[in-house]
Structure 1
């Protein structure tokens, strides 16, 4: 029996660490060849070597740079063929509020979390349309629907990403391309660890754990398995959806 992603060419942005790394490794384990794109070339290369450089390629690229995005997609395509699965995982945050946040901070968050995702989509769509098939999975966040103080403007950018997911899904459905989002809750990643570290409350991490219905934070691989399902033909009738991977936190009234 073939594996679920056999024959797929999967490009993962922010693939050098955290959830992106887990997605790249899981997709490879499910039979795909992988393009690991990251602004940190060393971490991308480490993941590619972990997978095996015969089945993966590391690409050092800034996804907010149009020419770098095109070059990244071209490199993956030259190595393995047209990208059939795009995972827009790269993201960033700036901690502040509407009064203290600078224009540069706002623009840098939206450039990665929203514009970068669109630039990647724009670069892979011609190949997907030519093949009359493809899957795009955008890694959004529970913060797009339910957020807390101190996550400005991350929540706004991720809400925009879900809006883009739904709009794009309708635009490309007749081309045989599916577009979905996953919205992780608290996952053990550098981004969440950074939030805990900069918070003024030293008990903020334990408080976050205490409200988890499952009593723990998620693991990046638990997000990766959902992403890979949505990327596979097993989810052939799923498009325009936003799947929560939050351990039930989004269902809790607290």
Structure 2
């Protein structure tokens, strides 16, 4: 049976590890040609080789999503390698932040927003012309539970992710007339390297997290990938401008 993403070309940023890697793997399983973009060259090569060994149609590029020239080159390179323009974009690349609002520098602030917000716009800007011309496409932005609920010690990560959700809604309205859908997914606690960074940075966070999830466990990258690939597919043809939580019910708790 054809997969949900047959005939799609799916670009995943931050694809070398964690959630991005799981999304790329699931998209390939669903029949997509997969384009991988990351700054981590060695890990990207490993992920690419594993996908190739599974029989997936895959291309990879090392690039920096915060640099518009790098984005432009990478998108062109990937589309050329796969023989078709990008039809689905998953803006997954992200950066945690644990700053003091009174002490962080402007450069520190910019480094967070460059990756978590500006980079998503730069990649979307690069792939949208082809989507608009084809009147077909989908974008899924990986936001965070921190876009709605947050904790002390995560400044200004919540602001950047809230901005990404706002960008999702705004962009969804602008491109809807062209048959393009834009949605966000907000993971909660997902077993990734970034979560380990969070647990290491916030005293007691690990112990608290293991006790407060209604479903009684930490999520997996594959949990997120399933939802992302659904939203990218025709099965979600009437869903746009939405922000889907993948948090094990954490966001519905009163306390």
Scaled by the length of structure 2, the TM-score of the pair is: 0.97
What does residue 249 of structure 1 align with? Answer: 250
The aligned counterpart of 1:86 is 89
Deviations 1:157-185 (A, max 9, x none): 00000000000000000100000000000
Paired with 2:253 and 2:76, the residues of 1 have a C-alpha distance of: 44
SS in 1 for 2:3: coil
Q: Following the alignment from structure 1 to structure 2, what is the Cα–Cα distance between the partners of residues 139 and 157?
A: 12
Shift of 1:216: 1.0
Q: Deviation per CA, 1:10-29: give whole Å up to 9, x if none.
A: 00000001100000000001
Asked if 1:35 is matched to 2:35, the reply is yes
The Cα shift of 1:94 comes to 2.2
Q: Partner of 2:61 in structure 1?
A: 59
Single out whichever of 90-99 and 229-238 deviates more from structure 2: 90-99
Q: How does 1:147-162 map to 2 (within 5 A)?
A: 147-162=150-165
RMSD: 1.0
Q: Which residue of 1 aligns with 2:46?
A: 46
The alpha carbon displacement at 1:206 in A equals 1.5
For the 8 Å contact 1:41–1:58, the answer to whether it is kept is: no
Deviations 1:210-254 (A, max 9, x none): 011111110000000000000000000000000000000000011
- What pairs with 1:104-123 in structure 2 (closer than 5 Å)? 104-123=107-126
Aligned to 1:137: 140
The aligned residue for residue 237 of structure 1 is 238
User: Residues 89-111 of structure 1, C-alpha deviation per residue, up to 9 Å, x if partnerless?
Assistant: 00002211211222111100000
- State the distance in 1 between where 2:66 and 2:174 align: 23
For 1:101 and 1:65, the matched residues in 2 are separated by 22
Please, what TM-score do these two structures have when normalized by structure 1?
0.97
1:47: how far off? 1.2
Report SS of the residue matched to 2:36: strand
Spell out structure 1 runs of 4+ moving beyond 4 A: none
- Distance, in Å, in 1 between the alignment partners of 2:232 and 2:74 is 20
Q: Distance in 2 between matches of 1:41 and 1:135?
A: 26
Q: Measure, in 1, the Cα distance between the counterparts of 2:221 and 2:60.
A: 20
Task: Structure 1 unaligned segments of length 5 or more: list them.
Answer: none
CA distance in 2, matches of 1:148, 1:88: 24
Unaligned runs of 5+ in 2: none
SS for the counterpart of 1:82 is coil
CA contact (8 A) 1:113 1:158 kept: yes
SS state of the match for residue 90, structure 2?
strand
Shift of 1:75: 1.0
Q: 1 CA distance for matches of 2:154 and 2:205?
A: 14
Q: How many residues align?
A: 252
